[in-house]
Amino acid sequence: MHRPSRTQHSCCQRSLFSMAGVRQLILLLLYCEGMNTETTPSPQSDPLITTRKAVSKGQNQVIIEQLEILTPQYIELLCNLTDIPNNPPYITGYWTKDGQEIENSEETVNRNNEQYILKKTFNILARDLGNYSCIFRENQAQVTFVLDVPVIKDKRDKPVVSYTGDSVVLDCKLKHTPNTWIWYKANNTGKELINVTANPLKYKIFIYGNKTKLTVLNLTEEDSGKYICSAEFDIKPSESYVELKVLSYTEPLKPFIAIVVEVIVLVTLILLWEKCNKPQNDNISAGENEPCSEQISKLTRDESNGVEKNTARQRKLEH
């Protein structure tokens, strides 16, 4: 039986050792790479801060600044007080939100080039919207910043009137363009989303950037009520409403019908009066005129009752 030579045996051992060494070297490199790999946190950039400034001059002056907030943000409110008598070296100022003093907001404001500057940075989310005021104690100068979403100002004092079977268009608009518009119908428990997809034959919604229109089709008296348009912003929706009143076609005719009835009764009374007071023959006794008197009296009573009912109805409508 042929045995491998010593040289062959040593070569095989060297190749095995070299393969094992390469394997160990690879494992060692992988282990070292794992040890040296660190998760470096991405540097956080400072939040963008918007600065809003207002200048107050003199004592007891109150200034109101309206600020429209569309997105959550950091905002720096700055009050610059000038024209103070005697120009003291420093005064005391503090901040309030919706009339309540903000804790730890009081600070001493030093004079700088005849000015006193009080500023503070706020993180504004939906719950933080409201009235922020900087107040200087010594002279009661005050600046109020009103932070709110854009207001839909085209509210109508009177309802939109339409009639059964017709269609009506309700609209809302803003100076700013929201992310989208949503329409609701108010009910006893709150509001109900108007779903155009589920009711394509009843509603149509059109959106034109900062304007929206809702078309209500095939009106019935049940469609009367408040319709809410909601402009959706990142921080909070801005809502307004349009009131719709749907009438039947006979509703406008009711006052006219009442007037016509009263005129007919009045004309009938006049004709009966003339007939009853017409010269009679001598052989007609006075007792034959009694039926005319009774008819006139009855019509007069009916007339009075009709007038009283109409008056009562008008009073109810007025109330």
**Residue listed under structure tokens 């002056």:** 61
Task: Give bridge partners of residue 227 from the DSSP assignment.
Answer: 185, 242
Within 10 A of 304 (CB to CB), how many other CB atoms are there? 10
Structure tokens at 49: 């801060």
Task: State which amino acid sits at residue 173.
Answer: K
Conformational region of residue 308, where left means phi above 0, alpha means psi within -120 to 50, and beta covers everything else:
alpha
- CA atoms of 299 and 272, how far apart (whole Å): 10
Buried b (16+ CB within 10 A) or exposed e, 60-89: ebebeeebebbeebebebbbbbeebeeeee
- The pLDDT tens digits along the chain (319 residues) read 445 455 444 444 454 445 555 566 555 555 545 434 344 444 455 668 888 888 877 677 789 999 999 999 999 999 999 888 788 899 999 999 999 999 999 999 998 888 999 999 999 999 999 999 999 988 888 999 999 999 997 767 789 999 999 999 999 999 999 999 999 999 988 999 999 999 999 999 999 999 999 999 999 999 999 999 999 999 999 999 999 999 987 666 667 777 877 888 888 888 787 778 766 544 445 455 555 656 556 555 655 555 455 444 444 434 4
List the beta strands (DSSP E) in 58-129: 62-68, 73-82, 90-97, 100-101, 107-110, 116-124
